[in-house]
Each structure stands twice: as C-alpha cells, then as structure tokens.
Structure 1
C-alpha cells in the first residue's frame, strides 16, 4: 500500500513536470496547457545571457551555435543585475493548436527602459519594441505591464528572444498565461487599484477640508504627503504612465525619485508638527531636520547627475525609523495623541523595510511582499487619519475638562465672592452704625464746643471791654498824675514811650480846641 501511494505520487509529479515545464536544450519550456493557465518564472529560472560588450545582435544570438550560451543561473537575482550590460532572455514555448485559449508572455517590471521582443512568425521573426522609454501607445496591449502575443497555430517549439536594457536594476520576471486568465487578473488588479487610489483620494479630500476649516498647517503637510504617496504608487505600478503622462516617457525615469523624495519631506514635516517635536523632543527635531537636508542633497545629486540615487535605497528607511522612535518617545512622555501615530508608523516602517528588501533583492519576490508598501501606506493613512481625529477628540476632551474645571472654579469663586460680599456688607453695616454713633457723639461734642466757643467769645468780649475800660482808666490816671506832676520818670516813660507821643500829648493840651497862626492866619479846628 505504501509502495502504491509512493508510485502514484511519483507519476503525478512526473506528469505535472512534463505538462508544466519540459526541459529542452538545457532550459525550461512553457507547455501550452488549458488546465494550467498561468505560470510565472523569475530570471533565476529563465535562460539568459549577459552581453557585457553590448555589441551582440539578434542574428548572432539566434544562431544554433549560440544557444548553448543561454544558461539558467539559480543564484542570479535582481540585486545582481548590471545596468551597464545588455541581457538576452530566451523563452521556449511548446505549442498546442488544440488549446481553446489565446496565450501571452508578460513582463512585470514596468521600470525596464527597453525590451526588444523577437517573436517567431512562420520562417522569420517579428520585432516589437517595449519599455518605459517609449510612449504608452506603442504597446501591443493597453496595460501597465509589457505583454506580447504567443503564436499557437501549428505544433512544435518556438523560441522567443528578448533584448533587455535598463538604466536601473530590473526585475526580469516572465508570466506565461492565457488571455482569459490575463483579463481576469487585470480586471481584478485594476479594481483593487481603484479601491486603493480612491481611498487615498477620499482621505486626501477629507484632510484638505479639515485644513480649510481648522487652518492648521499639519493638515496641509499631510495632504501633500498623501499626494506624494499616490504619485509614488502610480509610478511604481505603471498606472501613472498609463493615465497621467502616456506621451512623456522621460518622466518615468525620475517620477519614483521625485515622489519618493516628497514622501520623506512631508512625512518629516508632518511628524514634526503633529508630535510638536520642536518643544517636546528637541534632539529628535534637529536630527530629523538634518536628515531632511541630507536627503535633499542626495535628491539634487540624483536629478542633476547620479540617477541611481533616485531609486529606493536602503538608507531611505532611516527617516521612517527616526519618526517611529520620536513618536514612541513622545508617547512615553505622556502625549496620548501619539498612540495611533506610533502604530501607523510601525506598520509603514515594516512596509518600507520589506519594499527595500525586495528592491535590493534581499528577499524573494512574492505578490504579498511586492505590494507590502501599498498595504502599509493604506493602513498607515487610515490610522493617521484616525490619529488626527483622535487628536481633535483628545484636545476637545481636554478643553471640555478645562472648561468644566473653569466652571467649577468660577462657581467656587462666585460662592467665595458672595460670602466675602456678605461679610463685607455686614462689616460695612456695623461700621456704618458705629460711624453714625460716633458722628452723633461728635455732633453733640461739636455743638457743645460751639456753645462753649460762643460763651468764651462773649466772656472775651466782656473781658476786652473791661480791659479797655481799665486801660482807659489807667491812662486817665496816669495822665492825671502827669498833669498833677506826681509821677516818676518810669511812669512818664510808660505813658510817653517816644518824643512824638509826648509832643502829641502836649499839642493836644495846647491846641486841642484848635488854633490860628498869627503869621499866615491858618486855622485848625
């Protein structure tokens, strides 16, 4: 029983190997089989030859004596691709005229500069030019990838040759599939692209409206960040070339670099504003600004001369790592707004890390890893949008709590004010009563003083009268004594202190009743 099962398994594997990929002339051959409508081989499973001289032509490589130079190198990967060389790839197809489907060969990497396809046609070869250096309308299929039809009219094996040149590392990956499978796969892929870009545009519009309402620059930075993400994804996917600049293939060489640079710039600026690093974490603020300046210098060098600097490089993960570290530190310091930010950039960091690994051929190519950055961008955008909303919610809660504390403090202040006012009113009332009592006493005292003053004035008047009479009597007595010559010198000096007083007295005695001048006749009454 064990032997039968092993034997059956061996037969199944053997038949499958013959049906799927027969090994002929040292290489793999795609066998047309309606039961297996899709096969995808990377360059490590394809026959290819690297022309370092860039001098070979199709007539040379298609000769029977040259076929042994086409080899399969299982150790070869995208990381070993030499942009200064020309790569010739041979794909063998075992035809099956009884097939119900049409078949195509497809290249996935939309960034390949030029692919010259040599397609067998009866006893000759037809040439088709593909690549992102040509206008989009030159393609056989209006699709973001490069496809060529496969002839299947008669039985036999056809060899398809592809001359590949690229100024950047190319991921040579060939899919052999039926047109039905291609249409199904393309429709689903474009549908998912529509969902992806639609969600990003909706999030962009939402944040643009938030900026118009709140006028906080962080929302504007986030809008530009989202637009750069859209541009970068469309450049990598080939969607941008198909729909935005189909007649300007020269943009393809710099689009990824430009939008990638924009992502880093606005990610740093948005993170600095969102996390308020200038006040919350100054060392990381200066570190991110230095990183931004360094990336700007590398970008300008890439635009001016070194185009390889515009490709995704391993050091491009540094800004996202720094942003992640900064957000974690700010969160640890008690800034609750950063919690979703940390999760978002953790996912984005993972997506960028995987994308760099696959770009530099450190990990094998898979569909999930290839689109890991798209998935990471989408999740990160949703989380950052929630983080912005969460920030508003937290700020609103903080504002409401502060307002509630203010209301409670105002109530306490009002109660304290009422209490103080009541106490002050009572004190004022008591003081008023006391003042009224003292005023009444003062008025009484004043009245008494007035009466006493009047009495004193009256007494003083009487005293003045008596003093005057007394003085008059004294003077009369003194005068009488003077007249009677009975006063001494001191008394005389007291009455007549100076000569004039004496003269006046004598004049009064002599001429008191008037006189007449004997000389002039002047009279004084």
Structure 2
C-alpha cells in the first residue's frame, strides 16, 4: 500500500516537473510553406551576455545545457554593452516536406560582427561569419542585409546559435524567410530605394534650377541637405556599402556620421535662410549659430578623439527641435512660408522619435519593415513639404511683387492724372502769362525806343564829360606835381617841423627809394666785379650782382650806414643840420626827434664832420645841398 502511494506521488511530481519544463521551455518556430516569413520575438529568442567576450562556442553550448540562456522579454533583443559579446539561441522546427529554401536575415546591417552556428546532419555545427567589418564581396547573398541559409530538413536538433559583437547598440531583428519570398521582398525593397533616392535627385535638380533662376542661397543649402540625407540613408541602409565602397569596411563604420553631420549643418542653415531668422527671430538666429558651432566641435571630437561618438545620434534631436521651434515661432508671428516647413519637420520629428525609441529599446511593438523604414518615409514627406514651403515662399514673394507692381501702376496712373491736370493748369497759366508778357513786351519796346533816344543823348553827354574829365585829370596831375614841388621847395627852403617833413618822407620805403635814386642815378656798377647787370636783393631797393652775387644795400657806403635810428628821422636830422649850418644842438635834436641826446650828439658830430669837409660843394647847392651830403658821402 505504501509503495503504491509512493509511486503515485513520484508520478505526480514527474508530471508537474515535465509540465513546468514545457511551460518555461524555448518556443520552437515552425517551418510552414504557407508562412513565408517570421520575425523572432520574446521567448522565441534566448539570450546570454558574455561580458568577457572570450567564451567559445563549445562553452556556450555547455552554458545552454545548464540554463544560462535567458528568455528574451522584449519584442526584439537589443545589445546594450559595446564591450560584451551577445549569444542568441534560436529553435527552428523540422520540416522534411518543405518545398522552399529557407534563410535567416538580420535587418540591422550595421552590426560589426555576426557569427551564425548552424547545426549539421551529424549534430555538429559549422560557422558562418557575417557583419559590416567584413568586405561586402565576401557575402553569399549580395544583399544589403546579412543573410545565411538554414536547412529545416536536417537531422539535427534545429538549434541555432548567433554570436553578435558590435561597438554600438543594435537591434537584433532576426527573420526566418523563404528564399523565394526574400527575392520578391528584395526586389520590392530595392525598387523602393530607387524611388527614394530618385526623389532625392529630383528634388535636388528642382532646387538647382530654382537656384539658377532665383539666385537665392537657400536652394544650395537645401540641395546639400538632400544629398547629405541621401548619403546618410545609403549608409544606414547598407546601399553605400554595397555599391560605393564595398571593399572598405573601416570607412563604412563611420561614414554615416560624416553624412549625418553635413545633413544637420545644412538643415539648420537652410532653416535660417528659409525662415529669414535674422529678421524674424534674431535670438533664435544666434542660438542656431551656437548650435552649429557646438555640432562642429562634436564632429571634430568624433574624428580626432573617438569614432564611436558617432553612435550618439540622439544629439541630432537638439538642432532638429530648435529648427522645428523656429518654424513654429515664425509661423505664429505671421510668416506664412513657415506653415509647410512646420508640417514637413513634424513628419521628420515623428520619424526621428520612432527611430530613437527603437534604438533605445523603448518601442513597445515588435519591429517590422514599416517601423524600420519609418524615418525614410518621413524623410520623403519632409522633402515633399519643404519643397511646398519653398514654392510657397516663391509664390508669396511673387504675389508681393505683383501687389507692389499693381500699387506702382496705380500710383503711376494717379501721377499721370495729376501730371495731366497740372500740365493743363500750367498751359492755361502759360497762355495767360504769355498774353501779359506780349502786352508788356510791346510796352517795353516802346519804352526801349524812348530809352534808346535818351541813351543816345546821354552817350553824347558822357563822351563830352569824358573829354572834360581827361582835361581835368591832366590839369590835376600838373597841379599835383606843382603842389608837391612847391611843398618840397617850401620844406627845403624853410624851417619845418618833423610832421610836415614826414609828409615828403613818411616811411622807410620812401626813404629807400629816394636813396636808391640818388645812389644809382648814373647807373649801377658792382663794387666787386664792376658788372652793370643786377637783380633785386633781399632788402627793399637793394641790388644783387648777376655775375658774382654780391648784394649791396641802399644805405651801404652812405652816411646812413650802420644807422640804428629810423631812417626818416635820420633824414630829418641831416636836413636840420644842413638848414641850421650845424648850429643846432644835440639837446634840441633830442627834443625834436625824441631820440636820446647821446645818440643825437654822435650822429650830429658825424654830419658836422662831413659838412666841414664839403663846405664848398654844398655852399651853392641850394635846397639840394642836404642830399648832396649823402651823394658826396657815397663817393667818398
């Protein structure tokens, strides 16, 4: 009885254990010709993280036997640690009757290294090496995605192991597909790529023609932005690696980062130009300028410090958000060309958010082809609406130009009407004025005739007066000369004061002229070389020899040489000494000339000496005797 109860309990425990194993066992994906593809998700994929990156395949199989692999709890697995190697175990059901060939495809072609361990007939495994770190030409299927054949009809257990190692976080999207479906899907996919990149080229050519027509730099920015987006999408989709640089896996690792940098820079430059932020939002314009500088610095750091920084694509959210905010801000302020810009960037923002959620593993739905290519679709919508925005801006500018032309035409019509009215009034006024002028002209003509007669009479009188004036002028000259002669004779023959004497010799120039006339009355001869030709010297009335350059002052070799008193006073002193025959005292001379007595005594003594030596010559000289003293002094 006890043994029977014990057997029953053991049977129950075994049954429960088997049930538990069935509950927590990995789900096997069946192979069915009616189901052409299947995406592995949740507990269909078991994961193991090798933090050392050094565990080999045999060790992994042993770890799988002891339950080290854990069921995937996410829609699709994601690698988090770039230093770890991730192992994934898949179970594919056997189907010996399938008519299709089957394959495993990995959506994310940016994975650096993938090693697929496929079971063989004798329960052994062979490895297939894939990944972007290998040349593209080494792939069995010349397709952008990483693919490997599977054989569901094998005698093995149908367990596949996948080792993934990548320097950045990747979404491990694994799809089981029939080869026929893969070919059909690939053709459709490449057709979509052709349409997508063709649209980029069309938009680029369209904007190039717009630039040629409009000569606005915003079109060049948009062309560069479209080409950069196209290059980035080719890098992200693997098209560039397949067709442009298939033998350069190292360059393929960070080429997308350069394209993304160019797209970011040209996007914000295009935003500045299209929205005219320099006028509509100066602060936002400065903020975008700083964003450009910071993005350039980050790009330089990615190139020079660490290429893995290119993986932080989330930083593009900052310039994208700022450009979107600038569009909303200018739209709210009434800038109409911003409306299609905001719609286009809304699509781009949605695609960026979806792609970021997938990359950060916060997307709650299984990743499908639509999710994976959502950003490309949003790029197409964004380019479409941005083209609408450019066309809208051109249309608005054309309307504004047409309105301005209409206003100009209206203004010109008004000006023409005003001009016609003004011309009519002016013509009327001109006619009236002309009539008045004709009447006045006739009156003036009559008056001119009268004036002409009067002028003729006045002309005759003027000629008579001119003849009389000529005669009077001659008489005045004769009279003036007589007066001067009489005055001179009176002065020279009578005792006159200095004031009256100064009327004849008022200043230095007059005295110098008088001396020059006396000194060179008989002609000039140089005292050095006897040359008779001269020019004017530096002092008034001095003469400079044209041959030897000797300059002779007018007072040199005269009684006035080295005289320090004013020359007109010296003249008057000579005259007084001559007229008084040297009897005037130095005190008297000092009072008359306002010169110190000692100076007067010195000069009077010099004059007396000359007078004593020339008594005979000056006795009969008359009123010119005092000047004879000067002449004789020159000769002596």
Q: TM-score under structure 2 normalisation?
A: 0.65
Query: Over residues 334-387 of structure 1, what are the superposed CA-to-partner deviations in whole Å (9 max), with x where a residue is unaligned?
Result: 322222112111221222222222222221334333222111110111111122
Q: 1:140 to 1:307 in 2, by over 3 A?
A: same
Q: Which residue of 2 aligns with 1:381?
A: 383
2:27 match: secondary structure: strand
CA displacement at 1:76 relative to structure 2:
8.6
Q: Which residue of 1 aligns with 2:241?
A: 241
Q: Which residue of 1 aligns with 2:393?
A: 391
Q: Which residue of 2 aligns with 1:418?
A: 420
CA displacement at 1:88 relative to structure 2:
1.1
Q: Return the alpha-carbon distance in structure 1 between the equivalents of residues 397 and 459 of structure 2.
A: 84
CA displacement at 1:444 relative to structure 2:
2.6
CA displacement at 1:26 relative to structure 2:
2.5
Is 1:103–1:178's contact at 8 Å kept on the other side of the alignment? yes
After TM superposition, the structure 1 = structure 2 runs for residues 114-513 of structure 1, keeping only pairs within 5 Å, are: 114-123=113-122, 124-155=124-155, 157-364=157-364, 365-448=367-450
445-454 vs 155-164, greater mean Cα deviation: 445-454
1:84 match: secondary structure: coil
Is 1:136–1:241's contact at 8 Å kept on the other side of the alignment? yes
Q: Return the alpha-carbon distance in structure 2 between the equivalents of residues 137 and 25 of structure 1.
A: 41
Q: 1:385 to 1:455 in 2, by over 3 A?
A: closer
Q: 1:448 to 1:95 in 2, by over 3 A?
A: same
Query: Over residues 149-195 of structure 1, what are the superposed CA-to-partner deviations in whole Å (9 max), with x where a residue is unaligned?
Result: 11234455222111110000011121112112222222222221221
Q: Which residue of 2 aligns with 1:70?
A: 69
Q: Which residue of 2 aligns with 1:109?
A: 108
Q: Return the alpha-carbon distance in structure 1 between the equivalents of residues 112 and 415 of structure 2.
A: 76
Q: TM-score under structure 1 normalisation?
A: 0.78
CA displacement at 1:67 relative to structure 2:
5.2
CA displacement at 1:252 relative to structure 2:
2.3
User: What runs of 5+ residues in structure 2 fail to find an aligned partner?
Assistant: 1-20, 466-636
Query: Over residues 238-287 of structure 1, what are the superposed CA-to-partner deviations in whole Å (9 max), with x where a residue is unaligned?
Result: 11111111111112211221111111100011111111111221100000
Q: Return the alpha-carbon distance in structure 2 between the equivalents of residues 214 and 457 of structure 1.
A: 78
Q: Return the alpha-carbon distance in structure 2 between the equivalents of residues 76 and 377 of structure 1.
A: 25
Q: Which residue of 1 aligns with 2:582?
A: none
Q: 1:455 to 1:58 in 2, by over 3 A?
A: closer
Is 1:254–1:303's contact at 8 Å kept on the other side of the alignment? no
Q: Return the alpha-carbon distance in structure 2 between the equivalents of residues 264 and 351 of structure 1.
A: 15
Q: Return the alpha-carbon distance in structure 2 between the equivalents of residues 250 and 263 of structure 1.
A: 22
Is 2:354–2:371's contact at 8 Å kept on the other side of the alignment? yes
235-244 vs 299-308, greater mean Cα deviation: 299-308
Is 1:136–1:247's contact at 8 Å kept on the other side of the alignment? yes
Is 1:45–1:74's contact at 8 Å kept on the other side of the alignment? no
2:119 match: secondary structure: strand
Q: 1:67 to 1:29 in 2, by over 3 A?
A: farther
Q: 1:300 to 1:455 in 2, by over 3 A?
A: closer
Is 2:51–2:85's contact at 8 Å kept on the other side of the alignment? yes
Q: Return the alpha-carbon distance in structure 2 between the equivalents of residues 294 and 300 of structure 1.
A: 10
Query: Over residues 467-486 of structure 1, what are the superposed CA-to-partner deviations in whole Å (9 max), with x where a residue is unaligned?
Result: xxxxxxxxxxxxxxxxxxxx
CA displacement at 1:101 relative to structure 2:
0.9
1:362 match: secondary structure: coil
CA displacement at 1:42 relative to structure 2:
3.8
Q: 1:441 to 1:67 in 2, by over 3 A?
A: same
Q: Which residue of 1 aligns with 2:48?
A: 49
Is 1:96–1:155's contact at 8 Å kept on the other side of the alignment? no
Q: Return the alpha-carbon distance in structure 2 between the equivalents of residues 111 and 378 of structure 1.
A: 22
1:106 match: secondary structure: strand
Q: Return the alpha-carbon distance in structure 1 between the equivalents of residues 368 and 121 of structure 2.
A: 37
Q: Return the alpha-carbon distance in structure 1 between the equivalents of residues 73 and 380 of structure 2.
A: 35
Q: Which residue of 1 aligns with 2:554?
A: none
How many residue pairs get aligned? The number is 440
CA displacement at 1:98 relative to structure 2:
0.7
Is 2:268–2:323's contact at 8 Å kept on the other side of the alignment? yes
Query: Over residues 285-334 of structure 1, what are the superposed CA-to-partner deviations in whole Å (9 max), with x where a residue is unaligned?
Result: 00011111111112222222333421253332121211122122222333
Query: Over residues 127-161 of structure 1, what are the superposed CA-to-partner deviations in whole Å (9 max), with x where a residue is unaligned?
Result: 21100000111112111111111123445522211
Q: Which residue of 2 aligns with 1:11?
A: none
48-57 vs 68-77, greater mean Cα deviation: 68-77
CA displacement at 1:456 relative to structure 2:
9.7
1:205 match: secondary structure: helix
Q: Return the alpha-carbon distance in structure 2 between the equivalents of residues 360 and 45 of structure 1.
A: 21
Q: Return the alpha-carbon distance in structure 1 between the equivalents of residues 307 and 458 of structure 2.
A: 119
The CA RMSD over aligned residues, in Å, is: 2.6
Is 2:120–2:155's contact at 8 Å kept on the other side of the alignment? no
CA displacement at 1:73 relative to structure 2:
3.3
1:429 match: secondary structure: helix
CA displacement at 1:452 relative to structure 2:
6.8
Is 2:116–2:162's contact at 8 Å kept on the other side of the alignment? yes
Q: Which residue of 1 aligns with 2:37?
A: 38
Q: Return the alpha-carbon distance in structure 2 between the equivalents of residues 456 and 384 of structure 1.
A: 93
